[in-house]
Structure 1
Amino acid sequence: MRMARWMTVTAVLLFAAGLSRDVIDKWIDATVLPPLLSETSVEVRDRNGDLLRVYTVADGRWRLAVSPAQVDPGFVSMLIAYEDKRFADHSGVDPRAALRAVAQALRAGEVVSGGSTLTMQVARLLEDSGTGQLSGKLRQIRVALALERALTKDQILALYLTHAPYGGNIEGIRAATLTWFGKEPHRLTPAESALLVALPQSPVARRPDRHPEAARAARDRVLDRVARAGALDRDEARAAQGDLVPRARRAFPALAPHMADRALAEAPTLSTHHLTLDATLQHKLERLARDATRGLPPETSVAVVLADHQTGEILASVGSAGYNARGTRQGFVDMTSALRSPGSTLKPFIYAMAFDRGLAHPQTLIDDRPVAFGSYAPRNFDGAFRGELTITDALRQSLNIPVVLLLDEIGPAHLMNLMRRAGVSPVLPGDQAGLAIGLGGLGVTLTDMTQLYAALARGGVAVPLRWRADEAAPMTGRRIFDRAAAWQVSDILAGLAPPAGAPRGALAYKTGTSYGHRDAWALGFDGRHVAGVWIGRPDGTPVPGAFGGDLAAPILFEAFQRLRDEVTPLAPPPPETLMVSTARLPQPLRRFHGRNAAFEPASDAPKLIFPPDGARLALGSGNLPVKLRDGTPPFIWLANGVPVLTGSHRREVALPGLTAGFSQVSVIDARGRAARVSIRID
């Protein structure tokens, strides 16, 4: 049947040759061409042009845009030599090839070779038409002739290279080389080229992963024929026949899936997105994030951001420990852009503001003691108090009370303003910023926190982090505090003990753990790069025992070790930096005193710790139990201004003489210092 069809087609061609040129031209010009522009896969590329991720087209096929210039010339030469050696000269149909096919068929009694040109094959691919009917073959001839008049040879070849089938849902040379060889088509071996020439002829029967022997036999026939035609050296063809045929499909690149999805969502009309990411580094950090979840609860995820703080370019962004992770890990959630509590990771910026404003110096002494700001009474993570210590030690130990004392002096609104000036968008749970924001009482993203630490690394100059390669870099950054303050904080953080096995002093870093162990953080930088790590559950459920220092810090140091370059040393101190001991500081900087210090009692003055001020109590025995801390005995106790107990050396007593209603309880120590509370007795 096929031979009969070709004989009929040949007869039609011979008949057409006898028609007037004018009739043929009108027939060709009246051809309605199929759409020449087909949807191709959206590509996301890294800073070097390497593929990060590819998306299938609407019908689930992999079809990547390509031009002949992107393809190995050896493949193009082999394709033309095998399929259509007069491609450069004919006008869409090659009568000589058709006559030869018929002659070979008559001699052999079966079809030996086809007579379709590459242009006719393009016509068939564009219309997805078969060759089973004579009408289909005639339509291909007509479209091929029309295509030759509308397009250049390179454009026709590009259509073939884009649409040729290579097995399964693989279309086009680029999708084929990525699937079967794991590489782009600009450099191919003769064996690879021959397989790619043979596959489109029978993409189902010759599919290498399912029919490797058929694929190999077809490839070898191509090598034999092109060698006989002189398009390939015979020895080279024989050597190529010894190469193995791929027996498995390779997965398409799927790096940075969250960032790729974001790029596609923000610019859905672009066919290619160029990002600042580095594919090699991205791959390493995605693997690091996956490995880090081993041994953790199955719901736990990990996110990592690493950037060049000199340029603001994000080099890697890992949104989760596995984009397609099964179970409750919720890998599809991009935790680099999720609002979370930053825990203690904002503390360095409060200290930097204090240094910048002349309120404190790294060697300034500050009290770590019980304090209360109205109803807010911050406590250290372990409930203990260290007494007087330097600012340096307070930050390295991540104590809460000293930093809240400083923030109370500076004002929470100024911390919020600093973050916004750095390009960060914090979210408050209420409308008013309180002192709790210094300990993580707000929402911020991992990317924003990394950007904030980049400002610290740049000597107090903030630049926005960017991830699109076509986004212009800012000419200058915005200074949020002076460079001496930035260096002083960096120097303190560089003195933190690193995780076991990590080099000391290589990074300036800070860890943090949010309330209830919901978020574990580590952020740090060297002289060139800045990175942030978050660990937790995307749904905000606590992870018992999760501490930033235990979980996130090792990942941070591992991330820096994945950089191609060695860790860059931290910057030296600016010339204006004051580097002296506590004793040599100016008198106002030796000890921190808040603006209300003149009105505050001495640190060893008596303090009533029970009952608390404003308490409402019910007296059972008629006596009121009270508790006292500090002060010098003996003590005088008063109820509503009347002494009820004198000469007492005890700090826990029961006071008589109080009745129902509002009362004031006072105590005076031996040095005349007093403390009082107002209570209500029912």
Structure 2
Amino acid sequence: MRREGQGRGRRLALAAAGLLAALATPFGAFLLADRFLPPDLPRLETVGRVVQDREGRVLSALPAPGGVWRLPVAAEDVPGHLVDLLIAAEDRRFRWHPGVDPIALGRATFQWIRAGRVVSGGSTLSMQAARLLEPRPRTLRSKAIEAFRAAQLEWRLGKPGVLRIWLTLAPMGGNLEGVRAGSLAWFGRPVERIGVAEAALLVAVPRRPEALRPDRHPAAALAARNAVLLRRAAPALPEAERRAALAEAAPAIRRAMPGLAPHLSREVARDAGPAPIRTTLDAGLQRGMEALVREALPGLPERASIAIVVADLRSREMRAVVGGEWLAEGRAGALDLTRTVRSPGSALKPLLYAMAFDRGLATPSTVMEDLPRHFGDWAPENFARGFSGHVTAASALRQSLNLPAVALMEALGPIRFASALKRLGAPPRLPPGAGAALPLALGGAGITLRELVGVTAALGDGGRAGSLRALQGPAGAGEEPVVRAQVAEAVAAILTQPFPGGGPAGIAWKTGTSWGGRDAWAVGFDARHVAGVWVGRPDGTAIPGATGRSHALPILARAFGILPAAARPLPAGAAGPRPVAAPAPLDALRLLFPPAGAVIEPGALTIRAAGGRRPLTFLVDGVPVAEGGARREAGWVPPGPGFYRVTVLDAAGTAASAPIRVRAND
């Protein structure tokens, strides 16, 4: 115990000796103080957000907490002439001093002793940065603390870090801080694009931010700016450039901060860091779509709202997103209605027909029945309550008839349709406890406008799956098509027709209306863009008489009028995906699964049929596997890999068959 106590004592003595040695040198004392008294940086990190479009143009600026316009900026973000003017005006020896300029401090001390008052402060940019981080009263004690903090900042952050602090926190009048906020408010442009005269004003205003506010004291602001331009130490400017800068007028008003795409801007900024956020939007298109919404709203019933999504057809990058009229009174303007789950009505029928064509259940020329019919206990009707009798599938889709669509859904299978929606990034939201069922054909599940636009994009892009995105970055891996390209083109050809009230040509479009007129939809695509419009009341109450054709489609036509013209060409032979021997009515016997040419994984298989006269008999290679009786399906377990022919036979002797292959186990 005694020996252990002696060892502890020696260690304490050595530690004390090391501390004294550190304190014995100024640098050692500084390092010790720096370790235990680190600079306070939260103000620098507590900033607003800047959201940019795909070209780097500012879409929207969001304030820091407390409503202060403090936006992040670094020295490399601003023009070189701004930094040059700042150093010339505030700290000529900034490039070489360690945070404190002994020459400037000596001069300031001498002037203070001789005049009995402060003539010049002797503050470096580093000391100003320290004061901006931790504001203090102007006292000698505060100056000493600022000098220590300035050396700390230089030691920890270097010259670029010191400039970042000044450029981000310098007061610009009112609740503006930093050159990025000042540039947007006083000049209406990003700081990256300001000229020499504008840079000089941003250097001048922080000296007396309230007395030099351009909107309140324009003459004083102009004089201060010119003093910076005429300063002896100012960077050498060509005389013509200096004269041009001096001749520029100073701003006399404070501009509103950019506020395009307010819903999306807040969405992408929620989890982002302080750096500017680059989106896929196009500022010009966004501005045009927002103006379209403002112009169209007065023609709608009270409390109705509009949402629009425009995306690039190939990349799925969104180019414009209007979630509603921002903060519009009575229209729930703060809600992003492009993300609200609503019933799509008939807007999903194009995908349903494409999937049916792809599986050989019909072609555009197949004759279908639009006549009263029960599907179990459900007897759907058309929107107009009437029936068209026998129509082609193409005409049924173009007229948005309900009975043919439900019949196709029965033949295709609601689960298969729901799975395709999920692959397309639009998983259907079903009522609690409900599964995928036939009403999916008529909008019996929830979807958002963004998701509907993504589904529609697949039909304009060769059947390729892919989700919409708003942030720049590498495109996702290519998805397997949900339907073949020729099938997608066939459906696109059916939907390409003139807008009823006039508009650009070469657009494929489809409308949808949910029950009671609660949701009016219109989606469409040309050769380059896909767009969707939703009209309704955010609270879900009905708009009597509202339909997709009457309320949403005219807005969609105007939206395509804003987009660059890119009419869809109609390729030869787009009438159908492939010819069939003869169109068959949907009550004819047909094999639903497996389809002809299918490659099946090993294991139990369910054979399904539709139509025909029961009882049905199921055969594989001519050998019965089951008599379905009243059922339209039968189970079969392949004995091994190879090629087989699956056949279904009805009571009238009609047969339907399909060749398939069972894959070998890996």
Scaled by the length of structure 1, the TM-score of the pair is 0.77
Is 1:469 the equivalent of 2:486?
no
In structure 2, distance between residues paired with 1:220 and 1:441: 68
Of 167, 171, 176, the residue aligned with 1:165 is: 171
What does residue 503 of structure 1 align with? 504
Output the amino acid matched with 2:499. P
What does residue 240 of structure 1 align with? 245
Q: Deviation digits for residues 200-238 of structure 1, max 9, x if unmatched?
A: 100111111222222122222222324x76744555444
What does residue 600 of structure 2 align with? none
Q: Structure 1 pair 230/112, CA: closer, same or farther in 2 (3 Å)? A: farther
In structure 2, distance between residues paired with 1:108 and 1:197: 28
Task: Give the secondary structure class of the aligned counterpart of 1:241.
Answer: helix
Aligned positions of 1:126-165 closer than 5 A: 126-131=133-138, 133-165=139-171
Aligned residues: 566
Of 359, 362, 377, the residue aligned with 1:360 is: 362
Cα deviation for residue 389 of structure 1 reads 2.3
Cα deviation for residue 106 of structure 1 reads 8.2
Output the amino acid matched with 2:587. H
Whether contact under 8 Å (1:54, 1:252) holds in the other structure is yes
Whether contact under 8 Å (1:81, 1:231) holds in the other structure is no
Larger radius of gyration: 1
Aligned positions of 1:100-499 closer than 5 A: 100-101=107-108, 113-131=120-138, 133-226=139-232, 231-233=236-238, 236-265=241-270, 267=271, 271-320=275-324, 322-326=325-329, 328-429=330-431, 430-470=433-473, 472-495=474-497, 497-499=498-500
Q: Deviation digits for residues 9-51 of structure 1, max 9, x if unmatched?
A: xxxxxxxxxxxx9764455443534224622323333333333
Whether contact under 8 Å (2:510, 2:522) holds in the other structure is yes
Q: Structure 1 pair 129/399, CA: closer, same or farther in 2 (3 Å)? A: same
Q: Structure 1 pair 391/575, CA: closer, same or farther in 2 (3 Å)? A: closer
Whether contact under 8 Å (2:55, 2:282) holds in the other structure is yes
Of 56, 63, 66, the residue aligned with 2:70 is: 63
In structure 2, distance between residues paired with 1:252 and 1:545: 40
Cα deviation for residue 534 of structure 1 reads 0.7
What does residue 94 of structure 1 align with? 101
Task: Give the secondary structure class of the aligned counterpart of 1:343.
Answer: coil
In structure 1, distance between residues paired with 2:220 and 2:117: 20
Whether contact under 8 Å (1:483, 1:574) holds in the other structure is no
In structure 2, distance between residues paired with 1:598 and 1:339: 39
Whether contact under 8 Å (1:561, 1:567) holds in the other structure is no
In structure 1, distance between residues paired with 2:430 and 2:569: 33
Output the amino acid matched with 2:446. G
In structure 1, distance between residues paired with 2:516 and 2:575: 42
Whether contact under 8 Å (2:58, 2:190) holds in the other structure is no
Output the amino acid matched with 1:225. R
Output the amino acid matched with 2:202. L
In structure 1, distance between residues paired with 2:437 and 2:30: 79
Task: Give the secondary structure class of the aligned counterpart of 1:345.
Answer: coil
What does residue 581 of structure 2 align with? 586
Task: Give the secondary structure class of the aligned counterpart of 1:425.
Answer: coil
Task: Give the secondary structure class of the aligned counterpart of 1:35.
Answer: coil
Aligned positions of 1:466-615 closer than 5 A: 466-470=469-473, 472-495=474-497, 497-504=498-505, 506-563=506-563, 565-570=564-569, 572=571, 577=576, 586-587=581-582, 589=583, 591-595=585-589
In structure 1, distance between residues paired with 2:561 and 2:355: 31
Q: Deviation digits for residues 159-193 of structure 1, max 9, x if unmatched?
A: 21122111122221222112211222234323212
In structure 2, distance between residues paired with 1:190 and 1:403: 65
In structure 2, distance between residues paired with 1:329 and 1:172: 35
Q: Structure 1 pair 36/383, CA: closer, same or farther in 2 (3 Å)? A: closer
Q: Structure 1 pair 102/457, CA: closer, same or farther in 2 (3 Å)? A: same
In structure 2, distance between residues paired with 1:419 and 1:229: 64
In structure 2, distance between residues paired with 1:24 and 1:475: 59
Cα deviation for residue 121 of structure 1 reads 1.1
In structure 1, distance between residues paired with 2:68 and 2:49: 12
Cα deviation for residue 524 of structure 1 reads 1.0
Task: Give the secondary structure class of the aligned counterpart of 2:255.
Answer: coil
What does residue 44 of structure 1 align with? 51
In structure 1, distance between residues paired with 2:151 and 2:464: 64
Task: Give the secondary structure class of the aligned counterpart of 1:473.
Answer: coil
In structure 2, distance between residues paired with 1:316 and 1:114: 51
In structure 2, distance between residues paired with 1:597 and 1:148: 83
In structure 2, distance between residues paired with 1:432 and 1:145: 68
Cα deviation for residue 64 of structure 1 reads 2.2
Q: Deviation digits for residues 587-609 of structure 1, max 9, x if unmatched?
A: 3x154435476559xxxxxxxxx
Where does the alignment leave 5 or more consecutive residues of structure 1 unmatched?
Answer: 1-20, 601-682
In structure 2, distance between residues paired with 1:148 and 1:374: 79
Across the aligned residues of Structure 1 and Structure 2, the Cα RMSD in angstroms comes to 2.8
Scaled by the length of structure 2, the TM-score of the pair is 0.78
